[in-house]
Every structure is written in structure tokens, then in C-alpha cells.
Amino acid sequence: MVTGGGSGIGRAIAMIFAKQGAHIFVLDLDEQGGKNVVDEITRTGGNASFKKCNVGSQTEVQMVVSEIIKEVSSIHILLNIAGIAHVGNAENTNENDFERLIKVNIKGVYNCLHAVIPHMKKSGGVILNMASVASTVGIPDRFAYSMTKGAVVGMTLSVAKDYIHQNIRCNCVSPGRVHTPFVDGFISKNYPGQEKEMLEKLSKTQPLGRMAQPEEVANLALYLCSEEASFITGCDYVIDGGFIKLNN
């Protein structure tokens, strides 16, 4: 079950997991994007289904999870990838934007955990949450976003601790900047006419000199959800081109 699977990192994860034989359930508000990913998977011989879902609504999440359980009887892997960003500091972040980020980035993760874990307890499973380097280091004008990703790390540690004896592993990954259509749209919206310059500037903030590709994050996700990573739980894996450790 991949939330936010209709584009970006979620899409890359859905694609690479499908290639490994997983039956993918793509959850997204973007119906066209989600269906496009499912079509791409099935055209290449994979197995995938689309479920339109607002992860910020507990009712919708519970309904979708119930549908999935009826179809396949269990959920082995939950990937909480859906998320939104915001530019602003503590002064100029308004209440509506603050609550919007909480609803998607925090409550959305909670809603999926709340709905899926009772089913996972029966036979075990793996949960991977999407955090960010913004949960670890201070990034200018990312007040609300950083707050929500810090909460994701906290939820990851709590779930890993609470369900370790139910054979449920829970980790998170913290990417640096990843070149997705979301980033291109973000730059176009906030820096019109400066797209090329801003893309180059943001790319150079990583010591490697470029942004990550979604598939690189997906490869890490695949490993953490595999049997090869069966001894790993309660960890936050940074994938940032050296951003945290090498930028001093």
C-alpha cells in the first residue's frame, strides 16, 4: 500500500516494488496520476490497483484499507509517502497552511498506521514512513514542513517500539532534495522566470552537486522493506547527497 503513489517518489516506489513481484495498491487524491501509474505497472506485467483516497480523512483511509483487506486478505508493507510542502517561517505561516500540513503530513501518516497495524499484527509486516532532512537540520523558511517531518520520525520510533514483538518493523527515510515534478511545479510557482537558476541553486546545496532521482530513494525503500533488512527497525535513513554531514 503506497500513499502518494501517483507521482514522484511514491510513483518510483510503486514501480520498483511491482517489478519485484508485489501487488501494489496506489493511494492518491490525483485519480489520473494514480491510474497512470497502475496502467504502467500492468502494461509491463505487474499487478497493481488504484484507490482514490484523501489520507487526511480517517474515514476514507479506513474504507480503503477495508477494501484492500477484502481483496487480498492482508497488507504486508505500508509505505507512507504522501506529503505536501510549504514555504514560510513561524511569523508568516498562517493557521490554514499550518493545519493543512498537519492534516496531510502528520494525520495522514497516523490514519494509515491506525488502519493498517491491526491487520499487520496478525502476520507481521513492514512500515516505511517518508521523513526529510528538514526533521534533522534547520532549513530556511520550512517551519511547518520541518515540524511535520519531525513528527514523522517520532511516530516511526514509537511504532517500532510498540510493535516489535508483533513482528512489525518500522523505519523512515529522510531524503534531501529530490528532483520530482512537484519540485518543478514548486519552483515555477514561487520563482517564476527564474526556474533554471533556482533548479541549479537548489541542486548545488547537496555536496554531490545534484538532486536525488526518485528511483534512488525507491531503491533504499525497497531494501528497507525486504527480508535482507530484517534486522533493521526504528531507524531514520538519510539519503541526501552529503547535505547533513558535509555542508559545514
Are 15 and 39 a contacting pair, CB within 8 Å? no
Selected catalytic residue, list 145, 163, 191, 223? 145
Q: Name the grid cell of 128.
A: 516505511
User: In total, how many domains does the chain have?
Assistant: 1
pLDDT score for 248: 61
- Helical (H) or strand (E) element with 196: helix 195-203
Decide if 82 is inside a domain. yes
Decide if 30 is inside a domain. yes
Q: Domain range spanning residue 221?
A: 2-177+213-243
Q: How many CA atoms lie within 13 A of 113 on its CB side?
A: 25
* pLDDT tens figures, 85-130: 999 999 999 999 999 999 999 999 999 999 999 999 999 999 999 9
Q: What is the mean pLDDT, run by run of 10 residues, along the chain of 248 residues?
A: 97 98 98 98 98 98 98 97 95 98 98 98 97 95 97 98 98 96 85 92 91 97 98 97 88
Decide if 203 is inside a domain. no
Decide if 189 is inside a domain. no
* pLDDT tens figures, 53-64: 999 999 999 999
Q: Please calculate the CA angle 136-138-143 and round it to the nearest 5 degrees.
A: 105
Decide if 202 is inside a domain. no
Decide if 182 is inside a domain. no
CATH (domain of 85):
3.40.50.720
pLDDT score for 190: 81
| CB within 8 Å of 188: residues ≥ 6 apart | 195
Judge whether 145 counts as a catalytic residue.
yes
Decide if 187 is inside a domain. no
Decide if 50 is inside a domain. yes
Rounded CA-CA distance 202/65 in Å is 37
